[in-house]
Each structure stands twice: as structure tokens, then as C-alpha cells.
Structure 1
Amino acid sequence: MTTIYEAAGGIEVLERLAEATHQRCLADELLNHPFSHADNQPDHTERLAAYWAEALGGPPTYSQQMGSESHVQRLHAGESAYMEEASPRFVACVVESFDEAGVPDDPRLRKALTEYVTWAAMGPFRAWPSSSDDVPADLAMPRWGWDGPLS
């Protein structure tokens, strides 16, 4: 069976999606602040695309070369109040970027991508509301399939 990563068009499409999303976040008053710090990490969109790729059935580039799930969770930990408002807006930025990024106009694919981003933004990225010190060191990269989270 084809993975979501393959159906989306691979890393090239996910890189365009990450870049288009990034630009929308920069233009959003609430999301601008964290996304404007990308100067400190100029490969932010490449890293985001690699993370999405791995989570959606692509190669393990993110966890082998860029970071761990624990690292990603620490970046978002302790931001509970902010994430409550920011998460749905981030999801909207991703979804609004589908056409610009060249995500195939396949309803099943777009539904799966939207469900993944919503799940990630509303769940795992809000799992550590108090402090990055609460994040375990050995979190596994969450995987997402056509029917939702994979075990």
C-alpha cells in the first residue's frame, strides 16, 4: 500500500508545504513570533519537511540526522496557553498551503494530511504543558497512516 508520504509526492512536496506554511505563519500575528526565529535555525523548513516525511511513512532522515522526538517535544513544552490558541491556527496555515505546495488534489490524501497535522498540533505537541524538563529522553517518533496513528 502507498504511504501518505508517497501519495503526497515525497520530500519535494513536503518541503514546499513546509515553506508555504512557514510563510503563512510569519504573516500571522499570533504565529509570527516563534516562526520569526527561524534565522537561528535557517534549515527550519527542511527539518519540518523531514519530520513530516518520517511521520507519514517516508525515510527516517529526521531522526537519523536532525533530532529526536524528545527534542521536538522539548521545543514545544511549557507553552500550554499559547498552544491552545496557536495550534488550530497552525493547522489552518498548513491546510491553506496545500494548493501552493502542489499537494495532489486527492480528497483522501488531503483528509489524511489534515487529520495528521491536527492530531499532532492538538495532541503530542501539547502533551507537556508545564516544562521541557518533563519530556522523557526516549520518545519514539509518532507515525501516521491512512487510518490514523500507527502503533
Structure 2
Amino acid sequence: MTTIYEATGGMEVFVRLAEATHERCLADELLNHPFSHDDNHPEHTTRLAAYWAEALGGPATYTGAMDGSESHVQRLHAAEGDYMKEASPRFVRCVVDSFDEAGVPDDPRLRTALTDYVTWAALGPFQAWPGSADDVPADLPMPRWDWDGPA
């Protein structure tokens, strides 16, 4: 069976999706603040694309070549308290609204799987550490997602 990564069209589509999502977040009054920080990684959208791609069955570029880790990602999003409760659904909307612009194939099963993944991540793991980044364990595994949900 093909992976979600393959069905989406590979890394090029994920890069376009990350870029389009980033632009939508910058245009959103609530999401603009964290997406416009000067301390954001200069390759934020490339790293986001690699993270999504790896989680959805693509190459291990984020955890390998980019030396990224799930613990690092969770620390970046930790200690946001109630902000994430309002911001997360809006982030999901920005991703979904970027599908056409990014060239995500117009396949209902694929788009549902992508939406389900982003929703799960935004409303679950990315809200798991509201108090402090120090609460995030050092060895969190990279989450994987397939057609049936968490893998």
C-alpha cells in the first residue's frame, strides 16, 4: 500500500504545503505572533515539510539529515497554556485551506487522512505540555501516522 507521503506527491508538495500554511498563519491575527518571531529557524518551512513528510511515511530527513527530534519540537510548542486551545484549530484550518494551493491531490481519502493527522497532532501532542518546556521528556519518539491513524 502506498504511504500518505507518496499519495500526497512527495517532498515538493509538502514544502509547498508548509510554505502556504506559513503564509496563512502570518495573515491570521492569532497565529501571526509565533510565526513572525525573529528567532524562528531560517529554514522553518523546509523543516516543517520534512517533519510532516517523515510522520506520514516519507524519508527520515527531519530526524536524520536535519538532526531534529520530537522532544525538540514539543519543547518549541510547550508552555503555551490556553493559547494552544484557541490557536490549534485555527492552525488546522490554515493547513487544510492550503491544500489546493500546495497541489495536494483532490482525493477525499488522502485529504481526510492529512486533515485527521494535523488535527490529531495539533489537538493532542502539541497541547500535551502546557506548563513548561522542562516537562517534555528528552526521548520522545517521532510520531508516525498512516491511513488508519497513529501507527
TM beyond 0.5? yes
Which stretches in structure 1 are left out of the alignment for 5+ residues?
none
Alpha-carbon deviations, 1:39-88, whole Å to 9, x = none? 64220000000000000000000011321000000001111211000000
TM-score (structure 1 length as normaliser):
0.97
How does 1:103-114 map onto structure 2 within 5 Å? 103-114=104-115
Question: Partner residue of 1:13?
Answer: 13
Which stretches in structure 2 are left out of the alignment for 5+ residues?
none
Question: Partner residue of 2:45?
Answer: 45
Question: Partner residue of 1:25?
Answer: 25
Question: Distance in 1 between the 2:98 and 2:37 partners?
Answer: 20
Check conservation: 1:13, 1:102, Cα contact below 8 A: yes
Question: Distance in 2 between the 1:23 and 1:127 partners?
Answer: 26
Count the aligned residue pairs. Answer: 150
Question: Distance in 2 between the 1:128 and 1:28 partners?
Answer: 24
Alpha-carbon deviations, 1:73-114, whole Å to 9, x = none? 000111121100000000000000000000000000000000
Amino acid at match of 1:55: A
Secondary structure at the residue paired with 2:37? Answer: helix
How does 1:2-151 map onto structure 2 within 5 Å? 2-37=2-37, 40-66=40-66, 67-150=68-151
Question: Distance in 2 between the 1:86 and 1:40 partners?
Answer: 18
Question: Distance in 2 between the 1:97 and 1:39 partners?
Answer: 24
Amino acid at match of 1:82: Y
Percent of paired sites with the same residue? 81
User: Hey, which bits of structure 1, 4+ residues long, moved more than 2 A?
Assistant: none
